[in-house]
Amino acid sequence: MKVSDDNKNSEADHQHKSPGKPGILKIMQSIFAGAIGVQSDKRRQEDFSSHSPLPYIVAGVLFTATFVIGLIIIVKLVLASQ
């Protein structure tokens, strides 16, 4: 019984430690939320407290490029159908 209590305490301590490397899903969620303007202050603080801004910069550039290319393709398809 004592061992399980120790595991619970160590899991609780692990959850309260400073954030480590963000996962790909967390980065994508932050990029999408920031792009449409619904990013929460809590998530923004978590993003800025991560060790490196590089994953967010790369994901943001890729998202922006994909978005712009998607818009260009949609416009060309619409204009070609007229």
Residue 47 CB neighbours (<10 A): 21
The 10s digit of each residue's pLDDT in 26-46 is: 889 989 988 888 888 888 888
Nearest to 63 by CA among 30, 25, 32: 32
The 10s digit of each residue's pLDDT in 56-79 is: 999 999 999 999 999 999 999 999
Taking residues 11-16, report their average pLDDT: 45
Nearest to 29 by CA among 17, 20, 38, 21: 38
